[in-house]
Structure formats: structure tokens, C-alpha cells
Chains A and B, each alone.
Chain A
């Protein structure tokens, strides 16, 4: 039973436009949500996170939105750049417990 779902395996976006990656979760106990970025043959790197007490967190070109009532979060990247092409993993945790990852979304930034 998947607790963290990324329903889009891949996404293609034109360079300079906005990339929106979506994630849904089922466990209402999650209190922390994270996005990781992964290039081939490398470990995931932490990108941005949000606590369940907030609905938005911004860091440069990256913004994460959390809608607790819908159990949905999204990552916005604007403007999208070629180096953003990677697999993005959504993750969730109850603090001090294990981190649960989604299946990932492969983002392609088109020239």
C-alpha cells in the first residue's frame, strides 16, 4: 500500500517555463514533507522541505505547496533550466521515524 504517490512517471517542460511536480499521500500522521532530486548513478540530494504547519515554502526557483485537506503537495520550479532534468522524489515522514519515498517523476527540460 503506497503511502506516498507520484502518479506521473515523467514530465517534459520547455526551458524557461514552469515545472510542476505533484505528489499525494495517504497517511495523515505525516508531519514533514521533502523533495529530493536524483541524477543517474548518484545518490539523491535534498532539495526543499515543508512542515505540516505551513502551506508554502520557497527557496530560490523552488517552491513547495502543501494542501493538507487534499493530502497533496506540489513542487514548482520556475524558470526551468536544463540542469533541472533529473528524477524528483517526493518523501514524507513522521518526525524521528522512517522516511517514505514515492516512485519518482522523471523531469525532462526541453531546449
Chain B
């Protein structure tokens, strides 16, 4: 079974803090994704990565950055957290050539 682990289930941060969300997968998949889920808006892609040190902007990259120094780890960084970044953040992964992606359990981030 594919295991995608997100470092925290629940997180509360203050406005202006730098926030790191970590995602680790154990299946040697090339592709990794960060989505956020908001009521009425579905899943929106923030950033994705096809390989180590490679990154591509998704649909809503503003206010975020990512890091992929190792194949198994994809980090999402909120440079200066704001209240409109309060959301459920979901990491996903799949191997090249597959369409199905496997998701982590999600991180519920609240920015106060």
C-alpha cells in the first residue's frame, strides 16, 4: 500500500508566521502535489513537482512556495501566513504514467 504521510493533522499559526507543511511518501513516486480544499471551491492545485528540485505552479501559487530536495519529501511553505490561508491542505503523489493519485490524510491549518 502506498503511504503518504503529512507531518501534522491540525495546526494553528499566527498571522505573519512562516509555516512549513511536510509530506513524505514511501513509494518512490516521481510526482508530488499540494492541494487545498475549501468549502464550495473543491480541491485547488497549489504546486506540483515531477522530480527532485523541480517545481511547477498550480492554479493558486500566490503566497506559497515549495521545496523538493529529496524524492520522497515535498514541503509546502507559507512565507507569511494570512487568515485567508486557513484551509485543509492535502498532499498527493503518483508515479509517472499513472493518472490515479494517492493522498495523505490532510492538514487542517488555522491562521489566527
Contact = CB atoms under 8 A, between A and B. Distances in A.
Interface residues of B, number: 27
B40 A9 contact: yes
Interface of chain B: mostly helix, strand, loop or mixed: strand
A99 B33 contact: yes
B84 interface: no
B100 A101 contact: no
Contact of A104 (B42, B58, B103): B42
Interface stretch (A42-50, A55-63, A66-74, A77-85): A42-50
B40 to A, nearest CB: 6
Contacts of A100: 45
Interface size class of chain A, counting residues whose CB lies under 8 Å from the partner chain = 20 to 34
Contacts of B35: 101
A33 to B, nearest CB: 8
Interface of A: 6, 9, 32, 34, 36, 38, 41-46, 49, 89, 91, 93, 95-96, 98-104
B105 A46 contact: no
A102 B42 contact: yes
Interface string B77-112: 000000000000010100011011111111010000
Contacts of A36: 103
B66 interface: no
A53 B105 CA distance: 32
Given A41-B106, A99-B33, A99-B92, 16 more contacts: A6-B42, A34-B99, A38-B37, A41-B9, A46-B101, A46-B102, A93-B99, A96-B97, A98-B33, A98-B45, A98-B56, A99-B45, A99-B101, A101-B42, A102-B42, A104-B42
